[in-house]
Amino acid sequence: MIRNSGQITALRRLSGRRTVRVVAAAAIIAPAITMLALASSASGSPTGPGVADLIAGNLLVSRSVYKDVSGITTSTQLPPGCAGTGCASAISNGMYPYVFNNDTVDASFGITSPIYLDQITPTGSLVNSLEVPNSLEAGVPSTKDQMVTSFSSKSEMALNLSTNGNDVTFMGYAAPVGATDVSNSNTPGVTDPTNPVSGAYYRVVGELDAQGKLHFTLTNAYSGNNGRAAILDNANGDDALFTAGNAGNGSSPQPNGIILGAGTQILTPETKAEVAQQLGAPTPVGSFNITELGKKADKIGKDDNFRGLTIFDKVLYYTKGSGSNGVNTVYFLDTTGTACPNGVGLPVPGAPLPSSQLAYDSTTLQANGLPSNMCILKGFTTTLAKTTTTSFPFGVWFANATTMYVADEGNGSTTYSPATGIYTDAAASTTSGLQKWVFNSTTQSWQLAYTLQNGLNLGSPYVVADYPTGNNPVTRLPWAPATDGLRNITGRVNADGTVTIWGITSTVSGSGDQGADPNKLMSITDSLAATSPGTESFTAVDKANFGEVLRGVSFTPGTK
């Protein structure tokens, strides 16, 4: 697939939103656009002229391209600004992918990079690419709206359509390209003095509408970690952003702002420029604590380490699939206070979405954390994360009220067999991939019907052009990545009784940070009524090239 760098030109400002141009690449989709030759740049991100609108029914894929502007050498001290015994010298310069070997000496290591939103057809033909404003663009100084991602942070940049279908949202940082360890930095309004990373950057929700207009909402939430997903609720006169993520990168006790800034947040979408936004403390909207299950409490706030996020039938659903605290499972937020007296339940029919932040007692926050108003969805596991290696849910998509698909990214194990050339734990997994869950009206609970894996080739390394061959001398494992499962997903119900689901792959490899592996966008079509798998198989729709990663997938704004 040929891509464009997505050169952005500011055309005008309306209510603080940036109107942008996106670069055309496929006249077959937009007949009025002349097809122009595209030249590939040195970074591997092609450039070229042209303008095209976002077309309803197409897909949008979030992508990042690594830029070696970090100035890292083997004399660089990590983390940046460190002092005392916590410092280590970088073991690699800024060249991709070797730079991510620095993760072995700095657990917070990461490099910020530009965000691209690629519009493709459902079968993978590129229409255009949009580059989100960043510090490498001409005319984008630090005072102008901008947003980046942390290149190797695999859980970032989920894409979600708004509740009215007219906007797509995603999360990142208000930081320059090439900044180090931003994904574990504090936010300016929430400082944890025990965080080994000294920088401070706001987290950002980006919003793109069907006319190509962008605007950004800053937040002090997710200090010490990252925001992963956001959804704009703008149907029926509502106007709220719901987000999912994780907070904290220091020791206990955590400051109140870290506890308040974890997990689930509610924000008011901004219309002002980033420099004009006035930010206060984080505004949590939900929380879960394993004490609801009768378990001994974990580290305060770390049960709220959420990744996937969706809204179905006016209910917020979240997933947790990483970290040793809490439960790796599927959750929903209960606004009635009656759905789950023991931490497990089903949404109450007709319950509204939350409209304000969660009320809490600041005098008990350090001891007890936030009050619990979230439930594990009945039928999904309640086994503690520290005792299981088979539950790593990520994206969630509802086909209807009784059928949902859950992506499982796999456990990330790099157990490798030189004899077979296979990552054996990934290949042997029976739960990673795309899980189909159906609601059992008799037991009043969700149950796993089957897991779709055919065509993912779990554990089998694949070739990436220009990628190093052989073993990484630092990890002593092959550089070549292999699919471990799926992360963010979206889907469509077809007229013939089938559903088609698109999913971004997770990887295992010998890289210093597997989040930096070039990965893929896969699709599969499943019979909605099926109770067991048939002959369906995943096919590759898109793939990241050298120095690229794919993160989120949704339909384009305007798709109903």
Q: Is the pLDDT of residue 40 over 70?
A: no
pLDDT in tens, 197-255: 989 999 999 999 988 899 999 999 999 999 999 999 999 899 999 999 999 999 989 99
Instruction: Specify which residues 245 forms β-bridges with.
Output: 227, 263
Q: Output the six-digit token pair for 525.
A: 């079509």
**DSSP classification of residue 385:** G
Environment class of residue 444 by beta-carbon count within 10 Å: exposed (0-12), middle (13-18) or buried (19+)?
exposed
Where residue 488 falls among pLDDT bands split at 50, 70, 90?
very high
How many Å apart are CA 251 and CA 264, to the nearest integer?
Answer: 21
> Which of 258-267, 291-300, 384-393 has the highest average model confidence (pLDDT)?
258-267
Q: Is the pLDDT of residue 174 over 60?
A: yes
180-185: average pLDDT: 97
Output the pLDDT for position 544: 98
258-280: average pLDDT: 96
Mean pLDDT taken over the chain:
90
**DSSP classification of residue 87:** -
Output the pLDDT for position 70: 83
Residues 6+ apart with CB under 8 A from 32: none
Strand residue runs (E) in 178-212: 203-209
The pair phi, psi for residue 102, each rounded to 5°, is: -65, -15
Give the global pTM.
0.91
pLDDT in tens, 319-354: 999 988 999 999 999 999 999 999 999 999 999 999
> Side chain identity at 252, as an amino acid letter?
S
Output the pLDDT for position 1: 38
Where residue 523 falls among pLDDT bands split at 50, 70, 90?
very high
Q: Is the pLDDT of residue 520 over 70?
A: yes
Output the pLDDT for position 546: 98
Instruction: Specify which residues 506 forms β-bridges with.
Output: 485
Q: Is the pLDDT of residue 105 over 80?
A: yes
- Ranges in the chain annotated CATH 2.120.10: 87-124+145-456+473-555
Query: What percentage of the chain carries pLDDT values higher than 90?
Result: 84
Instruction: Specify which residues 446 forms β-bridges with.
Output: 439
Q: What CATH class has 87-124+145-456+473-555? A: mainly beta
Residues 6+ apart with CB under 8 A from 56: 210, 555, 556, 558, 559, 560
pLDDT in tens, 370-415: 999 999 999 999 999 998 889 999 999 999 999 999 999 999 999 9
Helix, coil or strand: residue 448: strand
Output the pLDDT for position 14: 27
Output the pLDDT for position 86: 76
Say if CB 280 and CB 189 are below 8 A apart: yes
Q: Considering only 27-31, 229-233, 275-279, 289-293, which range has the smallest mean pLDDT?
A: 27-31
> Side chain identity at 64, as an amino acid letter?
S
Say if CB 197 and CB 181 are below 8 A apart: yes
